[in-house]
Amino acid sequence: MSKSIVIKGGTVINPDGDARADVRIERGQIVEVATSLSGEIQIDASGCVVTSGFVDLHAHLREPGKEEAETIETGSRAGALGGYTALVAMPNTDPPQDSVAVIDFVREQGKRAGLVDVIPSGCITLARKGETLAPMAELAKAGVRLFTDDGTGVQDASLMRRALEYARGLGVTLAQHCEVAELTKGAVMNECQCCTDLGLPGWPSIAEELMVFRDIELVRITGASMHFLHLSTRRSVELVRAAKRDGLPITAEVTPHHLALTEELLSSYNPVYKVNPPLRSADDIRALTAGILDGTIDAIATDHAPHPRRDKEMSLDMAPPGMLGLETALGVVLAQGSFELRNVVALMSWNPARIAGVTKTHGRPIAPGEPANICVFDPDLRWNVDPERLASKSMNTPYVGHSLRGRVRHTIFKGTPTVIDGQAQK
Amino acid sequence: MKHLRSIDELGKDGLVKLLQLTDHMAEINQRPVPKVPALRGRTVASLFFEDSTRTRLSFETAAKRLSADTMSFNVSTSSVNKGESLRDTVATITDMGVDAFVVRHKSVGIPWQISQWTSASIINAGDGAHQHPTQALVDCYTIREATHTQSFDGMQITIVGDIKHSRVARSNIQAFSMLGAEITLVAPPTLLPPDVSHWPVQTTHDLDGVIPTSDVLYMLRLQSERMSQGHVPTLREYSEQYGLTQKRVMRLKPSAFVMHPGPMNRGVEMQIDPSDVKNSLIHRQVANGVSVRMAVLFELLGSGSSLGGQA
């Protein structure tokens, strides 16, 4: 791919401002950003936003172990279609990402697919059992910057303290799935009036908030940096807001579904709406939105969690939690109508690149000399999701029948188009 | 009416209609030969994933008295016990030609999920702690029979016990309030759902306070595993505060009735032999079970057929 590519007619959104400009790419790099450029391959971007490719902090790619649900290749393709050029792969694979061998395997599979940068996260504890620390120094040496036991939180406060102390020495970030397990045994949905009616065990907000509070205080005494995964409640946002005001090295993400969907959907008895943390109330959505607008929340991350159809055809209590997110994230977030485009780009590209520790290659400005990891999206296009046509191997999207707004048109990864006009190129 | 999955879905008109139809069925059950050909050629499959004595037997008896064929699915000897191949099981039985499934399952929502996978009617015989609509029909019918009133306006119904985990309570609260009753729930806070402020009920933790004003005292079963889950410290303590004792029976209005959906935990919520309770409706609840379930089956499957004739 030595031909020059020009992205024509779009609006470039950069950290230092917006501009109508064409973007010329050669040999994997942006070489020129100016008006009226031409190149051997022209890509139309009229009416579109041109910005750095999205970075997802939270993707379950299921390989190795559950290739029936997703593979690194199919997940990467779903990511590319969603405008992503980098995905942080969650470690709850089988075997889990707690050894250099598995980390290398995941990264290599990502390279083989060649659609996005697959950035493996590492486990905090061996096999995510919450008992002994994973070899974090070895994993850090193998390139891991973000450690998490996602799927579960580290329950043992003493072990979490040690993990933070150890992480500080390595200069890596721990990411917590905040859930006090004793409070969510058998839980299916948010503890609310709807769960009262359905007779389902409730998933109280306090189960999340207690661990958010605990970890903020552990960060305060250890000085290690900490990222909070998929926050879902009003009080969690308030706790993080106060911690940031105290200057603690804390970042936080929310998912598109926690901004768009509410607990009442469970009264359809459809396990596609079962997710961890659970869908909460409209009041929680207001608080999460306010948290985004005032900078308390740093990133929007998908928690893309594919499950095969038969798993989501089980009963509400038996079905595994999780929903697809990569291909719909932008459309769901923009459909909320609460955020400026520049804000969305910060939440989906610039900030997560920083949290993932990949600022050399991702979340960069669109400027000469920069790596050509680029997302071009139409911010106004209305569209509907057809689960049969998703690139993901699974179909557990909760957005059937929803009108989404904003769709990725082109994605360029390392100078090569992975998506053109909404079509995956390989 | 295609399905009977919850009282909410049934609505007040449907509820009243089924109660009236139950009168006809009760009359059939009084005959020397309590059998009519109304559902001849129809097939009813019981799909019980949880143990049941009275509900299952009364459904099967009801189906037979209406001359329907019955098919029974024994879950304990099948491979279906994790819900995984439920869709396949339902599809398979549907292919054999089934007009209705009677479903009981420990998981909330199963009757709704199943109805996506079959064209047959679904009757919910209990899903988790969610709904048990035919029990509510039985209880409404039994109260109407005992009080000789069609409407429950002004009636004080007190439901005592483990409301949180009770599908009987959820269905009955909806049904009793549709018919006009005023409902009081009595339970320790740990056995009430997290938020009942939107339910048409009063709540109290003091059983003795509401005994003298209750027209119906509805006792719920307390399962012993609630202790290990920390809902109550000991069965003795629960029984002391929320059990029906001789002393409490003495303080009931003379016209008040005692009910229990069964099976009873003697010595826990029932500290007294039900036969010693003058106005116990517990046997009537069981007896009316067959008539009510005949009404439900006829309503769902009997389109075009009449209740006349001899089988």
Q: Are B126 and B50 contained in the same domain?
A: yes
**B163 touching chain A per CB within 8 A:** no
Other C-beta atoms closer than 10 Å to the C-beta of A156 total 12
Task: For residue A12, give the CATH number of its domain.
Answer: 2.30.40.10
Mean pLDDT of chain A: 97
Q: What is the pLDDT of residue A201?
A: 93
A9 and A120 share a domain? no
Q: How far is A71 from chain B (nearest CA, A)?
A: 23
> Domain of B213?
133-286
Establish whether the linkage from the previous residue to B263 is cis, with ω within 30° of 0.
yes
Quick one: B75 and B137 in the same domain? no
DSSP code string of B256-268: -EEE--S---BTT
Residues A69 and A121 in one domain: yes
**pLDDT given at position B245:** 94
Work out the pLDDT band at A317, boundaries 50, 70, 90. very high
CB contact under 8 A, B194 and A199: no
Burial class, A171, CB count within 10 angstroms (exposed 0-12 / middle 13-18 / buried 19+):
exposed
- pLDDT, one tens digit per residue, over A126-174 is 999 999 999 999 999 999 999 999 999 999 999 999 999 999 999 999 9
Total count of residues recorded for chain A: 426
HSE-CB for B199 with a 13 A CA cutoff? 30
Q: Distance (Å, rounded) from C-alpha B60 to C-alpha A187?
A: 34
* ipTM for the predicted complex: 0.92
Task: For the beta carbon of residue A41, count every other beta carbon within 10 angstroms.
Answer: 13
One-letter amino acid for residue B125 of the chain: A
Nearest to A198 among B82, B130, B198 (CB): B130
Nearest CA in chain A to B112: A269
pLDDT (mean) for A61-72: 98
How confident is the model over A102-112, as pLDDT tens digits? 999 999 999 99
Q: What pLDDT, on a 0 to 100 scale, did the predictor assign at position B82?
A: 54
* Pair A177, A150: CB distance under 8 Å: yes
pLDDT top residue among A54 and B230? A54
CB atoms under 10 Å from CB of B273, counted, come to 11
If pLDDT is split at 50, 70 and 90, which confidence band does A188 have? very high
Domain boundary among A307, A330, A356: A356
Same domain, A275 and A296: yes
Dump pLDDT digits (tens) for B99-150: 999 999 999 999 999 999 999 999 999 999 999 999 999 999 999 999 999 8
Radius of gyration of chain B (CA): 19
A300 and A388 together in one domain? no
At B78, the pLDDT band (50, 70, 90 cuts) reads low
> Which of the 8 DSSP states describes residue A323?
B
Q: Is the dihedral of CA A186, A190, A194, A196 positive or negative?
A: positive
Q: With CB atoms and an 8 Å threshold, state whether B194 touches A313.
A: no
| C-alpha distance from A77 to closest chain B C-alpha (Å) | 29
Buried b (16+ CB within 10 A) or exposed e, B2-34: ebbbbbebbeeebbbebbebbeebbebbeeeeb
Residue B310, pLDDT > 90, answer no
Is residue A240, in this structure, part of any structural domain at all? yes
Half-sphere exposure of A266 (CA within 13 A, CB side): 31
Query: Looking at residue B223, what is its pLDDT?
Result: 82
Once rounded to an integer, what is the mean pLDDT over residues B30-55?
Answer: 92
* CB B67 within 8 Å of CB B40: yes
How many domains, chain A? Answer: 2
Q: How far apart are CA A312 and CA B200, in angstroms?
A: 34
Model-level pTM?
0.95
At B53 the pLDDT is 82
Annotated catalytic residue: which of A98, A303, A311, A378? A303
CATH of the domain at B31: 3.40.50.1370
Where does the pLDDT of residue A36 fall: very low under 50, low under 70, confident under 90, or very high at 90 and above? very high
- Per-residue pLDDT, B81: 56
Q: Are B137 and B118 within one domain?
A: no
B123 and B140 belong to one structural domain: no
Q: Are strands A416-420 and A423-424 parallel, antiparallel or unpaired?
A: antiparallel
CATH number of the domain bearing residue A109: 3.20.20.140
Q: Indicate the helix (H) or strand (E) that contains B7.
A: helix B7-30
Q: Same structural domain for residues B29 and B40?
A: yes
Reported confidence tier of residue B276, pLDDT bands at 50, 70, 90: confident
Are the beta carbons of B258 and B277 closer than 8 angstroms? yes
Residue ranges making up the domain that contains A315: 54-356
Using an 8 Å Cβ cutoff, are B295 and B27 in contact? no
Nearest to B84 among A192, A310, A317 (CB): A310
Q: How many domains does chain B have?
A: 2
Regarding whether B242 and B118 lie in a shared domain, the answer is no
Burial category of A18 from C-beta neighbours within 10 Å (exposed 0-12, middle 13-18, buried 19 and up): middle
Determine whether the interchain pair A310/B165 forms a contact, defined as Cβ–Cβ distance below 8 Å. no
- A361-391 burial: b if 16+ Cβ within 10 Å, else e: bbbbbbeeebbbbbbbbbbebebebebeebb
Average of per-residue pLDDT values in chain B:
92
3 state DSSP class of A206: helix
Q: Are residues A43 and A70 in the same domain?
A: no
A179 & A297 share domain: yes
Give the count of beta carbons closer than 10 Å to the beta carbon of residue A122.
Answer: 28
On chain A, the residues whose CB falls within 8 A of the CB of B170 are 197, 199
- Starting at the edge strand that comes first in sequence, how are the strands of the sheet with B216-219 ordered? B201-204, B182-186, B156-160, B216-219, B257-259
Shared domain for B139 and B281, answered yes or no, is yes
Cβ–Cβ below 8 Å for A193 and B165: no
Q: What is the mean pLDDT of residues A45-64?
A: 98
Backbone torsions φ then ψ of A154, nearest 5 degrees: -75, 110
B290, amino acid identity: V
**Helix spans in A187-308 (H):** 193-198, 205-222, 234-245, 256-260, 282-293
The residue count of chain B comes to 311
% pLDDT > 90, chain A: 99
CB distance A84 to A377 below 8 Å: no
The answer as to whether B78 is a domain residue is yes
- Write the secondary structure of B99-157 as one string of H (helix), E (strand) and C (coil): CEEEEEECCCCHHHHHHCCCCCEEEEEEECCCECHHHHHHHHHHHHHHHCCCCCCCCEE
Q: At what angle do helices B167-178 and B133-147 cross, to 10 degrees?
A: 50
Residue of B303, B309, B292, B305 whose CA lies nearest to B17 = B292
Please report the pLDDT score of residue B79 as a whole number: 55
Strands (E), B242-289: 257-259
> Do B194 and A202 count as a contact with CB atoms less than 8 A apart?
yes
Catalytic-residue membership of A303? yes
| Residues B127 and B167 sit within 8 Å (Cβ to Cβ) | yes
Instruction: State the burial class of residue B296 (Cβ atoms within 10 Å of its Cβ: 0-12, 13-18, 19+).
Output: buried
- Supply the pLDDT for residue B230: 85
* Predicted pLDDT of residue A362: 98
pLDDT of residue B157: 98
Is the pLDDT at A88 greater than 90? The verdict is yes
Q: How buried is B101 (Cβ within 10 angstroms: 0-12 exposed, 13-18 middle, 19+ buried)?
A: buried
Q: What's the token pair of residue A67? A: 């290739």
Residue B100 belongs to a domain? yes
Query: Cα–Cα distance between A82 and A328 in angstroms, integer?
Result: 7
